Amino acid sequence: MSDQVAAARASEQATSRAALIKLLFFAATLAILPISSYFFTEKYVWSGNSNYAAITAICAANIVLIAYIIVSVVEDKQSFKEAEEKKLKLSETKKER
């Protein structure tokens, strides 16, 4: 039993580490992308028009948020699928006994 507990704890730590890395990546992207897109588009694309540059920055922030939601949903579906497979394996091993 202790081998199974150790494996479960290692799996939990890897999962939480991966979630933390994704969160930090999206947080950094959310901090950097809108600001950089604002200044870049204000100077090079919109020729000093700050209203259009602000709209571009808002769109960039929304794109990052939508990407985070999509990644979270896909990850949740995968973890749900893995949990169902584990339940199926457990029920099969109980039936064999």
Per residue in 58-92, pLDDT tens? 999 999 999 999 998 998 888 777 777 776 666 66
Cα–Cα distance, 8 to 4 (Å, whole number): 6
For residue 43, the SS3 value is helix
Cβ neighbors of 64 (< 8 A, separation 6 or more) are 26, 29, 30, 33, 34
**Distant-in-sequence contacts of 73-82, Cβ < 8 A, 24+ apart:** 75/22, 79/15
CA distance 9 to 64: 31
- Please state whether the predicted TM-score (pTM) of the whole model is above 0.95: no
